[in-house]
């Protein structure tokens, strides 16, 4: 396991359905992030976890979105009652902070993303 992995890579769903994405960060990384990227734009921050604690949520994260990281390892991002505007790529990332990070601190590594299409 050398990188951030996400599943599924692609998801097509009907409007109103719920979807869940999973992210496995780089082993021992204590921070985990979710970003959203739409066509022609750079990724936008959604939320992040320090170990199992969710420390910040962007205003982009409506109440239909919920993210968890129950044991401080993998994370899930659930979208309830999907809307067409939710169609985007959802990127997960991780980083190592604190003493163990040394020179690599603040470097955020991304996964391949999960493409969501709501029809």
Partner 1 sequence: AQKVTQAQTEISVVEKEDVTLDCVYETRDTTYYLFWYKQPPSGELVFLIRRNSFDEQNEISGRYSWNFQKSTSSFNFTITASQVVDSAVYFCALNSGGSNYKLTFGKGTLLTVNP
Output the smallest distance, CB 16 to partner 1, in A. Answer: 26
- Rounded CA-CA distance 83/88 in Å is 11
Nearer to partner 1, 55 or 119 (CB): 55
Which residues in this chain contact partner 1 in the complex, by CB under 8 A?
Answer: 31, 33, 35, 40-45, 48, 50, 55-56, 89, 91, 93, 97, 106-113, 115
Q: What is the DSSP letter of 65?
A: E
Q: What residues have CB less than 8 Å from 1, skipping those under 6 apart? A: 24, 26, 27
Nearer to partner 1, 17 or 38 (CB): 38
Nearer to partner 1, 21 or 35 (CB): 35
- Rounded CA-CA distance 35/77 in Å is 11
């Amino acid at each position: 396991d050398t990188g951030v992995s996400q599943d599924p890579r692609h998801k097509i769903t009907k409007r109103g359905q719920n979807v869940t994405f999973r992210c496995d960060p780089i082993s021992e990384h204590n921070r985990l992030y979710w970003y959203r990227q739409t066509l022609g734009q750079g990724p936008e921050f959604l939320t992040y976890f320090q170990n199992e604690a969710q420390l910040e949520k962007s205003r982009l994260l409506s109440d239909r979105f919920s993210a968890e990281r129950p044991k401080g390892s993998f994370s899930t991002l659930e979208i309830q009652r999907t809307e067409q505007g939710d169609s985007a790529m959802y990127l997960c990332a991780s980083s190592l902070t604190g003493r163990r990070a040394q020179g690599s601190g603040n470097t955020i590594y991304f996964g391949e993303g999960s493409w969501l299409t709501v029809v």
